[in-house]
């Protein structure tokens, strides 16, 4: 009875809602708040530049990380050394990922068809094996750690995200991914 009285008083439920929302917002990072409120209409472009002499093999996609039932939009690539690919256009989502674990998990969860199982890796693989060999997608030369970029802080809807693959002996796996944005 006491709890019902608390909600029944005018202004109390609005105050409780305000306090609850404030606590929720205070528990989020600035990046999470920006991503939550950023516009998600339209598309954005993604391009790749492989500045290594090796084939880059990976999965890229976009998804909504705040929706556990998000069905990601993704594509897979095998970009030969010193070549470019793209732009590809993806629907605007909260996250764009190159080889990220969450992207791959959401693709698995959605039971989506995966055209290139060898490119379905939680990194970017770099291979010097012949393109028609069994090791064509294997990391014969090394790997690069995944790149995860967030809507709002890292890219806007309508932007052009460019990921550049570089050899870097100081990076884990011997390669790195640089990121640039064209608005």
Confidence of residue 131 (pLDDT cuts 50, 70, 90): very high
Please, which residues bridge with residue 124 across strands?
A: 144
Do 44 and 16 share a structural domain?
no
Residue-number span of the structural domain to which 80 is assigned: 39-182
Do 4 and 48 share a structural domain?
no
Euclidean distance between CA atoms 74 and 68, whole angstroms: 17
- As for how many domains the chain has, the answer is 2
Give the total residue count for the chain: 183
Please state, rounded to an integer, the average pLDDT across all residues of the chain: 86
Do 46 and 25 share a structural domain?
no
Q: What is the DSSP letter of 147?
A: E
Do 58 and 21 share a structural domain?
no
Do 89 and 13 share a structural domain?
no
Do 131 and 89 share a structural domain?
yes
The domain spanning residue 109 has which CATH number?
Answer: 2.60.40
Euclidean distance between CA atoms 65 and 171, whole angstroms: 27
Per-residue pLDDT at 18 exceeds 70: no
Taking residues 63-91, report their average pLDDT. 93
pLDDT tens digits for range 98-117: 999 999 999 999 999 999 99
Do 60 and 5 share a structural domain?
no
Please, which residues bridge with residue 88 across strands?
A: 46
pLDDT at 68: 77
């Amino acid at each position: 009875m006491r709890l019902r009285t608390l909600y029944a008083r005018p202004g109390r439920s609005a105050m409780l809602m305000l306090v609850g929302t404030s606590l929720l917002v205070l528990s989020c990072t600035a990046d999470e708040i920006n991503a939550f409120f950023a516009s998600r209409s339209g598309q954005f472009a993604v391009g790749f530049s492989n500045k290594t002499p090796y084939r880059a093999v990976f999965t890229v996609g976009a998804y909504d990380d705040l929706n556990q039932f998000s069905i990601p939009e993704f594509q897979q690539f095998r970009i030969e050394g010193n070549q470019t690919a793209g732009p590809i256009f993806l629907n605007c989502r909260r996250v764009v990922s190159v080889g990220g674990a969450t992207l791959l998990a959401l693709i698995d969860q959605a039971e989506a068809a995966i055209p290139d199982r060898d490119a379905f890796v939680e990194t970017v693989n770099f291979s010097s094996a012949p393109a028609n060999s069994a090791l064509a997608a294997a990391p014969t030369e090394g790997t690069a750690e995944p790149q995860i970029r967030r809507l709002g802080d890292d890219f806007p809807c309508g932007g052009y995200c460019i990921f550049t693959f570089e050899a870097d002996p100081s990076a884990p796996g011997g390669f790195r991914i640089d990121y640039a944005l064209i608005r």
